A and B are shown apart, each in its own frame.
Chain A
Amino acid sequence: MHRFVIRAALAAVAALALGGAALAAGSPDKGKAAFIKHGCFQCHGTVGQGSVVTSLGKVLYDTELPLEAFIAFVRGTNRAMPPYSDKILSDADLTDIHAYLTSLPKPADYKTIPLLNQP
């Protein structure tokens, strides 16, 4: 987690260095379609729930990365997650995906789910 925060911060800095041109608001519906079509869900799950195996436990539903930093991260990541260039995912696609992820409802507190409170 600590390493991810550092990388996210670096991505944010990179985004600012690039000028951070204003991006249009994304479409959550289009973002969901792109999230599925381009295989993001394979590691992150369809609602960004992640997996200890495929996303090393990272969840996306509550991403706090601003859009520019998000795009910079996806373009520049070079560790477990492979980078996506603009030939694969355009800025518009990533804007939509970001809109989708930030539109996801906050999950219920586990304490309110009876099945998660069994002995």
Chain B
Amino acid sequence: MARRTSNPQTSQQTSQQSSFGAQSKVSRRKFLASAAVAGAAAGAASAAQAATAPDPIAPARPPSATRPSAMVAAAEVGNPNALPAAAKNGAAGSDFMVDVIKSLDIKYLPCNPASSFRAIHESLINYGGNKQPEFLTCTHEEAAVAMCHGYFKIAGKPLMTLVHGTVGLQHATMAIYNAWCDRVPVIVLGGTDLDAAHRPPGVPTIHSAIDINALVRDFTKWDDQPTSLQHFAQSMVRAYRFAMTPPYEPVAIALDAELQESAIRAEGEKLYIPRYIASGPPAGDPNAVREAARLLANAERPVIVADRAARTANGMKLLVELAELLQAPVVDQGGRMNFPNTHHLRRAPTVIRQADVVLGLELTDFWATVNGQIDNGENDGHGIQESRIKPGAKLISINSVELHTKANYQDFQRFQVVDVGMAADAEATLPSLIEAVRAAIPNDRKAGIEKRGEASRKAKEEARTRTLQVAAIGWDATPISTARLCMEIWPHIKDLDWSMVGSERQMSSWPSRLWKMEKHYSHIGGPGGYGVGYNSPAAVGAALANRDLGRFSLNLQTDGDMMYVPGVLWTAARHQIPMLTVMHNNRGYHQETMHVQRMSNRRDRVAYNGKDLGALGTRIENPDIDYAALAKSMGWWSAGPITDPKDVGPIIKKAVEVVKSGQPALVDTVTQPR
């Protein structure tokens, strides 16, 4: 019989009175940890109940830890000995926390271990049976968060991670910022020890702070530092709900060590697990929807631009419906897989120049969608700023980010005036917008709309021919052209249920230009915050989600990004996450090479390369990194470096078979810069 956990559908808040008054002589901290658990609803078991009615199959639970001693503190930097005797007063507080976490159905926990959350760690693997969530060992917190990030973009469900409250959170911050900018929910729990009078001296004190979440408050949607177990239960459910309401964003909860480690007392407050009910996504105001529909229905050349519009498969379907209704070209900026690239209405961004109405759906940067900046040092160094649209063009924006943004970090981008703005979720607004457009299209315009579609079909075919001809340039070149690399991969994956789990932008977006992409998981977009170090761990997280769905995961991986958290390769091997990683190894931080070249030219100086092939400090060569050896050392099947394009296909074929057998495989190819 499996251990029962609280059921989120049946648990509810009880009306039982808190016994705070009866405990008035107990210190507040002790009291907060000394609540009794009450399974409020039938069938809902609690940590306390489990402690008195042990599972007949599961072995006796080892006790939770007490306060760390000086010896334990010293063990922070060594091999810990056996911990002191357990709390005697009942089940561990962290067991109750596990019940709360289980109620949210969180499947995995990518995590790098740390002493500040040792109690909940112990509860998760022993009391919780290492299921829902399953612990995935990570070698860096940045990798753990980015795995959560990638996982969500395939599974549509958030993961949680645990981090040391200070140093671990510091490692995690860049990945949290990426998730923030990419509108992805990640639940970050940070261990800390608040009691300055009693916490162990030395390292545990160094690793504590009075407000750990201050570090990430500018780029998390919400954070809290619970001071009782009941407070924790409410905060977890609240955090989950906030994170999962568009705009999706990461959240942070601080976990006090004493709250985790102390026992739940038999007397005191009745604990309960609040029921999680998802909030509906915010849809656009009906009047604004009608006005947007009027503009679109009467436009001569409407253009739809989508960035993170399609949150689900249905989002893509809705966008296709709207585009076909208007026969309007769609520019997919690629934050998500918004629109099938085989559709005749999918067009290149240049089509925006002709638009008289532009509908922007969850755009990261509306300004840069309709304006350009040439970074040439003119205008006192600001560069040339120029409009990319016709004068008088009307702009419509539907963007949920306006509902929740913050001041410090500038991810909200430059300000763009729009004619109709809706602070709303695009996918949730599309059904009403489609109906409003359908009603607003005058009968005498319908023939003209059909003609737009014919023109788009012709333009699409011509663009396809041009793309294929450009792909042929440098076909036999060494280093290998990125177009050739993509087309050497394609025959080996095209008949599989494949999903591209890495970013393609560093490869001139050849996959989107050459491969057939029609599923909402054909690609998952990029990092959001452009923090390098996202791709390799996010790809592993997305591959984990694909593994559970029976899909084949392909990751096109840049070398610079790989070297931030290469340890994630080990995590993939350790937890048997099959995926094919093909290295786009251009042996450099290519963008930075071009930036230094630009600055050198502007200052009329020769860029100093030293012994490298680009500006000093921007290349990853001398010595060249052997990525195949790196992957092999972490348990991957690997091959390379491959320099001759003719060798790519046969190796990819072999690697695909390895991945289909359940292993991760890496093929290192030495490539052109982009």
Closest to A111 in B: B468
Q: Does B89 count as interface, using CB distance less than 8 angstroms?
A: no
- Whether A46 lies near B474 (C-beta < 8 A) is yes
Give a binary string over B106-139; 1 marks a CB under 8 Å from any A CB, 0 the rest.
0000000000000000000000000000000000
- Contact count A vs B, C-beta below 8 Å: 120
The count of residues in chain A whose C-beta lies closer than 8 Å to any C-beta of chain B is 38
Closest chain B CB from A66 CB (angstroms)? 22
Instruction: List, in ascending order, chain B residues with CB within 8 A of A108's CB.
Output: 472, 475
Using known A-B contacts A39-B593, A46-B479, determine if residue A52 contacts B509 with beta carbons closer than 8 Å: yes
List residues of A (81-119) whose CB comes within 8 Å of B's CBs.
Answer: 82-85, 87-88, 107-110, 113, 115-116, 118-119
The CA-CA distance from A39 to B490 in the complex, in Å, is 31
List residues of B (466-491) whose CB comes within 8 Å of A's CBs.
Answer: 468-475, 477, 479, 481-484, 487-488, 490-491
Q: Does B673 count as interface, using CB distance less than 8 angstroms?
A: yes
Give a binary string over A12-54; 1 marks a CB under 8 Å from any B CB, 0 the rest.
0000000000000000000000001111011101111111111
The CA-CA distance from A51 to B594 in the complex, in Å, is 13
The CA-CA distance from A67 to B593 in the complex, in Å, is 27
Q: Does A80 count as interface, using CB distance less than 8 angstroms?
A: yes
- Whether A42 lies near B601 (C-beta < 8 A) is no
- Whether A110 lies near B674 (C-beta < 8 A) is no
The CA-CA distance from A43 to B595 in the complex, in Å, is 11
Q: Does B50 count as interface, using CB distance less than 8 angstroms?
A: no
Instruction: List, in ascending order, chain A residues with CB within 8 A of B376's CB.
Output: 78-80, 82
- Whether B604 lies near A87 (C-beta < 8 A) is yes
- Whether A118 lies near B490 (C-beta < 8 A) is yes
Instruction: List, in ascending order, chain A residues with CB within 8 A of B469's CB.
Output: 107, 109-110
The CA-CA distance from A116 to B483 in the complex, in Å, is 10
Instruction: List, in ascending order, chain B residues with CB within 8 A of A45's CB.
Output: 473-474, 477, 481, 672-674
Q: Does B505 count as interface, using CB distance less than 8 angstroms?
A: yes
Q: Name the one of A47, A59, A88, A110 contacting B606, with C-beta atoms under 8 angstroms.
A: A88
- Whether B473 lies near A59 (C-beta < 8 A) is yes
Q: Which residues of A contact B (CB under 8 A)?
A: 36-39, 41-43, 45-54, 57, 59, 61, 78-80, 82-85, 87-88, 107-110, 113, 115-116, 118-119
**A and B contact pairs by CB, cutoff 8 A, 25 listed:** A37-B609, A39-B594, A39-B597, A39-B615, A42-B594, A45-B473, A45-B673, A46-B477, A46-B672, A49-B470, A51-B674, A52-B508, A52-B509, A54-B508, A54-B674, A79-B374, A82-B598, A82-B602, A84-B601, A88-B604, A110-B469, A110-B472, A115-B484, A115-B488, A115-B490
